[in-house]
Amino acid sequence: MSSTAGQVIRCKAAVAWEAGKPLVIEEVEVAPPQAMEVRLKILFTSLCHTDVYFWEAKGQTPLFPRIFGHEAGGIVESVGEGVTDLKPGDHVLPVFTGECKECRHCKSEESNMCDLLRINTDRGVMLNDGKSRFSIRGQPIYHFVGTSTFSEYTVVHVGCVAKINPAAPLDKVCVLSCGISTGLGATLNVAKPKKGSSVAIFGLGAVGLAAAEGARIAGASRIIGVDLNSNRFDEAKKFGVTEFVNPKDHNKPVQEVIAEMTNGGVDRSVECTGSINAMISAFECVHDGWGVAVLVGVPNKDDSFKTHPMNVLNERTLKGTFFGNYKPRSDLPSVVEKYMNKELELEKFITHEVPFSEINKAFEYMLSGAGLRCIIRMGA
């Protein structure tokens, strides 16, 4: 047992007191883990678009003060009652979605959408007792998606913690907690392109480039990147993208452009923007008879997907995916091993690094569109 087990830990955390305002480094109190909970020491974390979206609180019910962060790597400090598969010192990745291993989804080989621990952006407290484990001078501070990794210590449900190879560098594999695994798994686990096939990737942000990386690993011969920003193509080449299409450069729907480029359509497509028009284009650009389109991006709540029924009857397949169809506890360790075996390249996703004291710079980089992932070194 660690020397701090069962005690309140005082540490530094970056607290969002108001929507869209710079985070403030504060001393917080982190309570011990309760039943089926784990307290983690976070060593590295990174900023994801999801953090920024809910920090800006656009069109949402704001929940502040709050500790954001959900892409991270750390070690187990202590465990609560009932936790048997983790112990202090284990190297782990906390994940925004979970795997209870008991519900129908967890027992299914086809689903990773746990009934108990599925992502919940509105809940700022722990499941066990409906209370926060963070406080400042008695004032509760809300959690974020069950992880809150912008704190030197955090408390997470055991089902949202993946135990990984202790030799894996946490400053690299921490980015696998969210977007990179989402894009990678969308291609490898859901689209499943065959060697020598053609794949179109809609949106070349971090998730889209991870989807392209998956196509590269799968051995696709043509990887067509689709984005409204032509400046992204040079960066995309590092991830295996062989051709680039900017819809703004054409006077016809992009799905028609891709069909002409590929003699009828691509074998697979992966949509990573959340734009409803991009989703429709991604579906309609796959080849009839065998084409598969996978939707990753999250649309606006009022969007409606419209396509002619003949596009389905002509044997095109439309699929959706959540977190790349990876079960966090069961599958993430094997994704880490892909990196350790030099099959998956993570360094090219990491474009910036800042000390924890300068965490607001990470927000500046993302808001300006500079780079993909910024690693934040805790304790610095």
Catalytic pick among 160, 174, 178, 272: 178
Q: Looking at 4, 29, 103, 353, which residue is catalytic?
A: 103
Beta 243-245 vs 24-30: how paired, if at all? unpaired
Alpha-carbon span 247 to 239, nearest angstrom: 21
Q: Which amino acid is at 28?
A: V
Q: Which of the residues 216, 287, 352, 373 is marked catalytic?
A: 373
Residue 279, φ and ψ in degrees, nearest 5: -60, -45
d(CA 249, CA 320): 28
Give yes or no: 272 in active site. Answer: no
Residue 11 appears among annotated catalytic residues: no
Instruction: Find the largest Cα–Cα distance for the chain.
Output: 66
Q: Which of 70, 157, 268, 329 is catalytic?
A: 70
Residue 105 annotated as catalytic: no
Of 60, 134, 32, 111, residue with least CA distance to 328: 111
Residue 296 C-beta-side C-alpha neighbours within 13 Å: 33
- Six token digits for residue 345: 């390249």
Catalytic entry in 50, 149, 273, 321: 50
Instruction: Let me know if 285 is a catalytic residue.
Output: no
Active-site entry in 97, 114, 216, 374: 114
Report how far residue 375's alpha carbon sits from residue 357's, in angstroms, rounded to the nearest whole number. 12
Whether 352 is a known active-site residue: answer: no
39 flagged as catalytic: no
Q: Which of 369, 380, 375, 376 is nearest to 346 (CA)?
A: 375
Q: Assess whether 374 carries a catalytic annotation.
A: no
d(CA 318, CA 86): 38
Does residue 149 have an active-site annotation? no
Contact 48, 187 (CB under 8 A): no
Give the bridge partners for 93, in sequence order.
162
Cα separation values, 214 from 186, 319, 346, Å: 8, 17, 12
316 carries an active-site annotation: no
Catalytic residue among 39, 77, 97, 106: 106
> Exactly one of 49, 256, 317, 337 is catalytic; which is it?
49
174 counts as catalytic: no
Which parts of the chain are beta strand (E)?
9-15, 24-30, 37-46, 71-79, 91-94, 134-136, 139-141, 153-157, 161-163, 198-202, 222-226, 243-245, 268-271, 292-295, 317-320, 350-355, 373-377
Annotated active-site residue 222? The verdict is: no
Sign of the Cα pseudo-torsion (163, 169, 170, 175, in order): negative
Q: Which of 91, 99, 100, 222 is catalytic?
A: 100
Q: List CB contacts of 16: < 8 A, sequence separation 6 or more.
A: 23, 55, 64, 65, 66, 67, 68
Q: Which residues are catalytic?
A: 48-50, 70-71, 100, 103, 106, 114, 118, 178, 373
